[in-house]
A and B are shown apart, each in its own frame.
Chain A
Amino acid sequence: MAKILTNNLNLWYGTFQALKAVNSSIEANRITAIIGPSGCGKSTLLRVFNRMNDLIEGVRTDGEVLIDGSNILNSRTDLVVLRKKVGMVFQRPNPFPLSIYENIVFGEKIHAEGITRDKLDEIVERSLKDVLLWDELKDRLNEPALRLSLEQKQRLCIARLIAVKPDVLLMDEPCSTLDPQATERVEELMRELKARYTIIIVTHNMQQAARVSDDTGFMLLGELIEFGKTEHIFTAPHDRRTEDYITGRYG
């Protein structure tokens, strides 16, 4: 069964329709890339999966978004629970102005009040190990997170997500501020994490989508034009519009 299923999903920002009848099926333990030109709706689609668009005034959606079979667009959805289950990494790493340690335990403190220090220590160690930062940072846990390098900050943000044991990781241009080496290391991390999570990445960087993802969706003007195995999309796309975009003929 698909981890995430969208059925005839439409979304409007006021009168502007940003998503048009999107039908997609996203599998667990795979990396799905969403590509498309600026303004095509790819970030909007990503933000639907943990209802981040709710924060924008005048947003209206219809259709269904089923995660593990339940429709998260339902008004009874507990958003705190949803966002714990479906976490997001942003374009610019956004650690809190707190210590490295406090960044990682921040979510857990909200979700599990009265949790012991030992338990929190364990979470910090596990989360930092998962993002391959433990050896670098284990003796600096009380330093301000804002002192870290950009790559370390982005990894820390991923560790902060993982700490609350999500199922789905949403990544919106997670490497756009990183240099090629740091990008490669974050991509390697994504490959390691996919065994345990469903990862969806929005990226402008087509080579990155081709390198890192298992499935790729191409969006244009709010429509999901084509969705399929990454190797097919990048070697033999079915739709002319996909072909034009990935070969740089678009526009």
Chain B
Amino acid sequence: MERHLDQELKELNKDILKMGAYAEEAIFKSVEALKNRDRELAKSVIDDDSNIDKLDLTVDEKCIDLIARYQPMAKDLRFITTGMKINAELERIADIAVDIAQRTLEIVDKPLLKPLIDIPKLANVAQNMVKMSIDSFVNGDIALAKKVLLSDSEADQLRNTIQKELIEDYMLKDASTAPRAVQLLLIARFLERICDHTTNIAEDVIYMVQAEVVKHHPEKLK
């Protein structure tokens, strides 16, 4: 028997998926803009953020409305509250893509400090983690959510490698590289933050599906 609430939850699910797609696109474009030194693309990431903000508000309102009108329980309640949290994470991820685009605009006209190798790698990891976390939400896939959590150490390692290289091989050797190196350092930091947000999504998905709080309890994942 399909309840009226089921229809509403499907709509909510669609909106969250849309948020996920927007966030993925924002990261992709911001990193492409950096790689290709594309000022217009970087600007478009900044301009498009207002669409994501609008959808963020819509999803939040929908969740609050569903809670008020249906007083959902059990898995309905977990779905709606998790949806609300995931929505906030996705909005944050899109904001970080804007940060990356802004850093890109700072260096887009200057000569490239070095060929970009690890930053695109880290960007790939981040995009993958966003995609996997959204898929884990949509399909209620615990195994995939756990995979997201496990991927985080790869992101941390890449960030550390990038940081070490930029500081030791450039900033310490030639102070004049600092203004450009700092922007890349920040971008690496932003990409790693995106990965952290996807782990929050994955933890929320595990709660949604099996009602188990794994956040701040790493031992529960073993």
A residues within 8 Å of B by Cβ?
A: 206-207, 210, 234-237, 242-243, 246-249, 251
Give, as a whole number of angstroms, the nearest-CB distance from B70 to chain A. 8
With a cutoff of 8 Å between Cβ atoms, the chain B residues found around residue A242 in the complex are 74
Give, as a whole number of angstroms, the nearest-CB distance from B210 to chain A. 8
B residues within 8 Å of A by Cβ?
A: 1, 3, 5, 71-78, 211
With a cutoff of 8 Å between Cβ atoms, the chain B residues found around residue A236 in the complex are 74, 78, 211
The one of A235, A237, A243, A251 in contact with B1, judged by C-beta atoms closer than 8 angstroms, is A251
A210 vs B74: C-alpha distance when bound (angstroms): 11
Flag if B71 contacts A247 (CB, 8 Å): no
Q: What is the predominant secondary structure among interface residues of chain A facing chain B? A: helix
Q: A246-B73, A246-B74, A249-B3 are in contact. List 11 more A-B contacts (CB 8 A).
A: A206-B73, A210-B73, A234-B74, A234-B77, A235-B73, A236-B211, A242-B74, A243-B74, A247-B3, A247-B76, A249-B1
The one of A206, A207, A235, A246 in contact with B78, judged by C-beta atoms closer than 8 angstroms, is A235
Flag if A234 contacts B73 (CB, 8 Å): yes
With a cutoff of 8 Å between Cβ atoms, the chain A residues found around residue B5 in the complex are 248
A242 vs B75: C-alpha distance when bound (angstroms): 11
With a cutoff of 8 Å between Cβ atoms, the chain B residues found around residue A246 in the complex are 73-74
Flag if B78 contacts A247 (CB, 8 Å): no
With a cutoff of 8 Å between Cβ atoms, the chain A residues found around residue B1 in the complex are 249, 251
Q: 7 interchain pairs (CB within 8 A)?
A: A234-B74, A235-B78, A237-B74, A243-B74, A248-B3, A249-B1, A251-B1
Flag if A235 contacts B77 (CB, 8 Å): yes
A207 vs B76: C-alpha distance when bound (angstroms): 14
Give, as a whole number of angstroms, the nearest-CB distance from A245 to chain B. 9
A237 vs B3: C-alpha distance when bound (angstroms): 19
A142 vs B5: C-alpha distance when bound (angstroms): 52
With a cutoff of 8 Å between Cβ atoms, the chain A residues found around residue B72 in the complex are 247
Flag if A235 contacts B211 (CB, 8 Å): yes
Flag if A207 contacts B74 (CB, 8 Å): no
Q: Nearest 5 A-B pairs (CB), nearest first?
A: A236-B211, A246-B73, A243-B74, A234-B73, A247-B76
A243 vs B72: C-alpha distance when bound (angstroms): 11
With a cutoff of 8 Å between Cβ atoms, the chain A residues found around residue B73 in the complex are 206, 210, 234-235, 246-247
With a cutoff of 8 Å between Cβ atoms, the chain A residues found around residue B3 in the complex are 247-249
Minimum CB distance partner of A242 in chain B: B74
Give, as a whole number of angstroms, the nearest-CB distance from A43 to chain B. 22
A236 vs B79: C-alpha distance when bound (angstroms): 11
With a cutoff of 8 Å between Cβ atoms, the chain B residues found around residue A207 in the complex are 71
With a cutoff of 8 Å between Cβ atoms, the chain A residues found around residue B76 in the complex are 247
Flag if A243 contacts B71 (CB, 8 Å): no
Give, as a whole number of angstroms, the nearest-CB distance from B115 to chain A. 51
Minimum CB distance partner of B81 in chain A: A235
With a cutoff of 8 Å between Cβ atoms, the chain A residues found around residue B211 in the complex are 235-236
With a cutoff of 8 Å between Cβ atoms, the chain A residues found around residue B77 in the complex are 234-235
The one of A206, A210, A247, A251 in contact with B75, judged by C-beta atoms closer than 8 angstroms, is A247
With a cutoff of 8 Å between Cβ atoms, the chain B residues found around residue A249 in the complex are 1, 3
With a cutoff of 8 Å between Cβ atoms, the chain B residues found around residue A235 in the complex are 73-74, 77-78, 211
A220 vs B211: C-alpha distance when bound (angstroms): 23
Give, as a whole number of angstroms, the nearest-CB distance from B69 to chain A. 12
Give, as a whole number of angstroms, the nearest-CB distance from B80 to chain A. 12
With a cutoff of 8 Å between Cβ atoms, the chain B residues found around residue A237 in the complex are 74
Give, as a whole number of angstroms, the nearest-CB distance from A90 to chain B. 26
A207 vs B3: C-alpha distance when bound (angstroms): 18
A235 vs B211: C-alpha distance when bound (angstroms): 8
Most chain B CB neighbours (cut-off 10 Å) among A210, A237, A243, A248: A248
Minimum CB distance partner of A238 in chain B: B211
With a cutoff of 8 Å between Cβ atoms, the chain B residues found around residue A206 in the complex are 73
Most chain B CB neighbours (cut-off 10 Å) among A207, A210, A237, A249: A249
Give, as a whole number of angstroms, the nearest-CB distance from B28 to chain A. 36
A247 vs B78: C-alpha distance when bound (angstroms): 11
Give, as a whole number of angstroms, the nearest-CB distance from A183 to chain B. 14
Give, as a whole number of angstroms, the nearest-CB distance from A83 to chain B. 35
With a cutoff of 8 Å between Cβ atoms, the chain B residues found around residue A247 in the complex are 3, 72-76
Give, as a whole number of angstroms, the nearest-CB distance from A248 to chain B. 6
